[in-house]
Amino acid sequence: MASFQGRVIGALTLNVATYEEVERDTSATAQAAGVVVLAAISSGIGWIWYGGLSGIVSGAVVALVAWVVGAVVVWLIGTKVLPGPRTEADITQVMRCVGFAQAPGLLAFISIIPVIGWLITFALWIWGLVAWVIAVRQALDYDDTMRAVIVCLLAWVAIVLVTLTGAAIFGLSAATANSMM
């Protein structure tokens, strides 16, 4: 079994074997939750001017809820609506994989840099999207990437709705909510 740091590095480098490993390791669910929370905190630091300290805390709560909702949507769509010929997954396998797919968000604190912070956020968002597609493809045992892309896009809609709802409930600014997605 790889260390937490090794798994984070594997997720950051988009290593397919890392996602396969966390899919199989039932003890990695807490680690995946740790990645989600740390990525949310990092994002909150990157956008501290907009959300403040309370934005970091509430952002972490919203990120955890969005992670669970996103994983449930991925699992439902991926196993019930668009299963592949080899698809076999339970919700915790999907949670672990998509949790580690949020590893690029660990670098979101760099978004605090004036003038180019938005560009860094955009690059991390694209990196995270690619990680999500790989994680979903591996968690759902898909043979083709396009099916994973479709599932990710549908899940993204649900995550956006949860994040914006959380932002409204916690009073987060639009910039802070956007950085958490």
Summarize pLDDT for 18-34 with one digit per residue, the tens.
Answer: 999 999 999 999 999 99
Per DSSP, helices labelled H in 47-170 are 48-76, 91-100, 117-139, 145-170
Is pLDDT of 3 > 90?
A: yes
Angle at 69 between CA 67 and CA 75, to 5 degrees: 100
| Whole-number pLDDT of residue 164 | 82
Closest by CA to 93, choosing from 144, 147, 28, is 28
* Region label for 113, one of left (φ > 0), alpha (ψ between -120 and 50) or beta (otherwise): beta
Q: Where does the pLDDT of residue 1 fall: very low under 50, low under 70, confident under 90, or very high at 90 and above? A: low
Residue pLDDT, tens place only, 101-129: 999 999 999 988 988 988 998 999 999 99
Q: pLDDT at residue 175 above 80?
A: no
Whole-number pLDDT of residue 44: 84
35 pLDDT tier (thresholds 50, 70, 90): very high
The secondary structure of residue 143, as a DSSP letter, is: S
**What is residue 53's predicted lDDT score, i.e. its pLDDT?**
79
Integer CA distances (angstroms), 137 to 43, 60, 74, 84, 156, in order: 26, 26, 10, 10, 15
Q: How far apart are CA 158 and CA 89, in angstroms?
A: 20
Residue 176 has a pLDDT of 47
Cα–Cα dist 34/158, whole Å: 21
Which pTM was predicted?
0.87
Distance CA 100, CA 97 (A): 5
Each residue's pLDDT tens digit, 44-84: 888 777 777 777 887 788 788 889 989 999 999 999 999 99
Distance set, CA 146 to CA 21, 101, 169, 176 (Å): 22, 17, 35, 30
- What pLDDT does 49 receive? 74
